[in-house]
Structures are given as structure tokens and as C-alpha cells.
Amino acid sequence: MKLQGSRQCDDLEGRSVSSTVCKVAFGGGMIGLIFLAIHLFSVLDISETLQQLDSQTQTTSGESRELTAEEIESGKFINAVLVDTEDIWNEIFSENNMNYQEPGLVLFTDGVRTACGGASAASGPFYCPADQKVYMDLSFFEELRTRFGAQGGDFAIAYVIAHEVGHHVQTILGTSGKVRQLQQGKSQAASNELSVALELQADFYAGVWANYNKEYLEQGDIQEAMSAASAVGDDAIQKRTSGRVVPDAFTHGTSKQRMEWFMRGYNSGDIRQGDTFNGQLN
């Protein structure tokens, strides 16, 4: 992917590890938070999970260390992708007579404190609606390739970031709030269905973002995104971690669904085509 522009660090934060990238610090020092295998290294909005577990989480300040050259380059690329999403979502919102509020970005390595609670590196990338920030674990992308079998490549990383920004779009549009209201009083299975719809819509929004970047995409970029989406499907993760598939426990959608909704966004480029809820929010 050929990223355009040179803006850097507009919305970038870091936690606890000294860095030469834009004079920010990157995260470290979290212990005691354990996620279920189904959540490991997935791409999700974990705000409710973090709030539930935060009372059981203890943190340490950790010692600062210098970032590796690989971490520095990853940080630069992640921030550049965020900048690109800002430009595109500002354009999309303007086309629809709306104002886009840009999210923050926090890079971390071992753990991080958020307005939604504390998270360890096991959480992977996530979005916290309480502070409207995207949190990116710098170790996640190697895990995505080596543990979950996704193809390498920069566009796989870009897809993950765009998905999390999709959750920010849902927060701005009020979708996330409506989903939380609908989930109240429902069975776990019914609540999970709404969570799946929320995640698939974030995949759709990632596809819309990719559509606006068509002229800058390179051969193989979309396949990298498809590989990443497939790797973090609920069925793929369940098979890998437990050897069986439990549809009622799905929270993000199957590999097929995640790929399909990304491609719907990519092919249409129209945010109005992303009703994954079948009209339930109207």
C-alpha cells in the first residue's frame, strides 16, 4: 500500500517505554489480566470486558526501555495509516453532511491503562469508546502471522487499524450505544448476535476505507486483508483453540462473514450499504 501525505503524530500517544518516534512512549508493565482463548489476538471492541475485569487487574509501572528498530517502523506505519483514515473519514462524513471527530491512537507493547479499564498484550488491538482511542499492541501483527496463519504484509496491518477505526465511526454515529441498549435483558446468544453485527459492520467500514484508497493499493493488498479477516473469524479461532465450533458463542462473525462484509464495503464504497443488523436499529 502506498500511503500518501506526511502528517505524523497528530493523535498519537504511547505508554511507558521510551521511544524516538515523535518523542512518545509506548506501553509496558501490565500484569494479571487473562483473556479467554476465543478473545486472544482478535480484532474487537473490548470495552465491556475490560470494565468487568478491571477490578481484578493490578498494574505495575514497569521499566522504560528503548524501542527496537522494528517497533519504531511499526509505530510509524500504524500512525501513517491512522492519518490516512482521518483524511478519508473526514471526506466521507463531509459527503454525507456530517462532521467527523478524529480518534486518538495509543501504541503499547505489554499492557496499557484505558478509560475502559486495563488491558494486557493478550487483548490485541482494540477500541475504547469511553476515551475514543484506538489501542494497538505492537506485538500483535507477528502473532497474527505466526500463530493465526494470516499472510504477512502491510495491508493486513492496515485492515486491522481500519477495523478499529470502524468502531470509532460506530461510536460517532450512535450505533454502538444503540447496540448496548438492545443487548440489555437479552440472552447471551441474542446479545452475541448483536455483537457479531457490530463487528461485521466495522469490517464493512474498513472495506469502505479501502475503496477510497483504490488508486494507492498494490497487487496483493486485498488478499492480505482477506487473509487477516479469515484468520480472526470466530469459527477459525474456536477450531484452533478448542477444536470445535460453537455458533452461539460467536462474537465477531465467521471467517466467511468477515471477508464478505469487508468486500461489500470495498466494492460499494457507500456507508449506507452497511446494515449488518437487518434493520434492528431503525
Tell which residue, 72, 42, 281, 79, has the closest CA to residue 163.
Answer: 42
Quote the cell numbers at residue 267.
466494492
Given this model, what pLDDT does residue 41 score?
A: 31
Given this model, what pLDDT does residue 95 score?
A: 95
How many Å apart are CA 145 and CA 164, to the nearest integer? 19
- 171-174's contacts with Cβ under 8 Å and 24+ in sequence apart are 171/127, 171/129, 171/132, 172/100, 172/101
Phi/psi-derived region of residue 18, left when phi > 0, alpha when psi is between -120 and 50, beta in every other case: beta
For residue 35, which amino acid is it?
Answer: F
Q: Looking at the chain, how many residues does it have? A: 282
Given this model, what pLDDT does residue 185 score?
A: 92
Tell which residue, 276, 236, 277, has the closest CA to residue 255.
Answer: 236
CB 3 within 8 A of CB 80: yes
CB 97 within 8 A of CB 14: no
How many Å apart are CA 146 and CA 135, to the nearest integer? 21
Given this model, what pLDDT does residue 13 score?
A: 52
Quote the cell numbers at residue 282.
431503525
Q: Tens-of-pLDDT digits for all 282 residues of the chain?
A: 766 554 554 445 544 332 323 222 233 322 222 232 233 333 334 444 344 334 333 333 344 556 677 878 888 889 999 999 999 999 999 999 999 999 999 888 777 888 988 877 667 789 999 999 999 888 776 776 666 555 567 888 899 999 999 999 999 999 999 999 999 999 999 999 999 999 999 999 999 999 999 999 988 999 999 988 888 888 988 888 899 999 899 999 999 999 999 999 999 999 999 999 998 887
> What Cα–Cα distance (Å) separates residue 42 from each residue in 35, 71, 219, 228?
11, 20, 26, 10
How many Å apart are CA 198 and CA 170, to the nearest integer? 8
Domain boundaries, the chain: 12-273
Tell which residue, 184, 200, 196, has the closest CA to residue 247.
Answer: 196
Name residue, grid cell 479467554.
36
Given this model, what pLDDT does residue 109 score?
A: 79
Distance of CA 6 to the CA centre of its chain: 23
Given this model, what pLDDT does residue 111 score?
A: 76
CB 251 within 8 A of CB 38: yes
249 contact partners, CB below 8 Å, separation of at least 6: 38, 192, 234, 238
Q: What is the pTM of this model?
A: 0.81
Tell which residue, 38, 43, 16, 7, has the closest CA to residue 162.
Answer: 43
How many Å apart are CA 160 and CA 154, to the nearest integer? 10
